[in-house]
Structure 1
Amino acid sequence: MADRAGSDSLHEQLQRICREAAEMGTPLPPEIELARRLGVSRPMVREALVGLEAHGLVARRAHQGTFPNVSAFSVALRIDQSYELSTLLEDAGFEVEVDVISVEWSTVNDVEAADLAVPTGSQCLRVVKRWLGDGTPRIAAEDVIPARRRDDVVFDTKYSVFEIVEVLRGESVEWESAKIGAVVPEGAWREVLALDDARPALSITLVGASLHGTRLYRAHELHLMDGLEYGMVRRAVRRG
């Protein structure tokens, strides 16, 4: 746990340095200078910069330097990254509350079965949550984890889907794929999101998989767009 905290701290410090460089329109200091400034080894800085590059925040060029992606810092909510929904809303400036609507053992329907590559009717744990920003429902999500029923496990309401998967499946989520669309919430979703009109919502369906490709969970999220702006960052490809 200490290593993870230290890594997060270094990542956050480098992000601040990147943001400052982006605001000034300058490249980042050399790795050796960053290492001295941050009190870590040069290999640690290099590894952290590789991570920032993978997230589209910097571009490294041999013999030229490391350059911040100026446009990336203007994208508040990135749908191309894995995130905790509470953190996403907190970063947008909201006071966040999380409601657990239901936790129950169930079976997967045809659509869920196709996404999870399991037979229709397979057992699963189904968790429905709602995230409120400044007291107003902003996001609702339904997580489906295919697994045999276990009555000996009590799930903390603060557990993330990743923690539940590890408990039930004994595996870690390494990959996530997403399908994105726009829908008008209906039925139970309207009640969960406290909607009294037919406004559209951003629909994100995520499937998490293990290192070897086993599909471990399906999450269906509905995001109300009021006061929120979503975007993505990607490497440009030359078009001829």
Structure 2
Amino acid sequence: MKRANLIALLTLMLITFKVQAQQQLLPPLVSVTGVGEVKVQPTEVLVSLGVETREKTLDAARKETDKKAAAIINYLKKNGVDAKDIQTSFVTVQPVYSRGEYGITTPDMYMAIKTMTVKIKKLDKYDELLSGLYEVGANRVDGIHFQVSDMEKYKAEARKKAVANAKQKATLLTNELGAKVGRVYAINETTSGGGPRPLYKMAMQESAAADMGGGPSIAGGEVVITSQVDVSFIIE
């Protein structure tokens, strides 16, 4: 047998021996997944809104859009929205051609769009702000997202609940077998996309909408913060 082949064989045997030895040295374990959930009322809402204009020339479309966007920003600032909570998110200017006519090189008009993301921290002012925004030129709302301002606090609370849930599951399992839960052998927080970061899922559950006779036009529902932990305990 050639020396290289012999070395490769010995290396493979050594690796196999180490893996088997590690498996034999593992203590008896109970492995469980704990889930913790915290439900809170949203304290703020992110609104994606903007301006869309169509004009005969590119310059006219751009200027009209910029004018209305500036009016929107000024209106928001005058009504208590901080400048840091207003962020331009999308800008485009493009030609618009007639449909169904082949070979046209001159556009019928130009379309300009500018959108921004606005954080509204007073939910009771949402309807009033939106009405004013329509009046100063906003003509599109692309979406809203409810959230809480002190998210880290609720993440920690959800994590604590997840760990307690894991301990409870492990205790129930081992008690059924007449054993006891010992110290923690391994613990890990997982994410849906992989990696070492903890998993925090946010979902908006909408509450019943206001009646047709009036009242708020949005229902914030609840923000749900979820933490998941995988824990292995030594069985005593």
Q: TM-score, normalised by structure 1?
A: 0.21
Higher-helix-fraction structure: 2
Q: TM-score, normalised by structure 2?
A: 0.21
Higher relative contact order (CA 8 A, sep 6+): 2
Larger Rg: 2
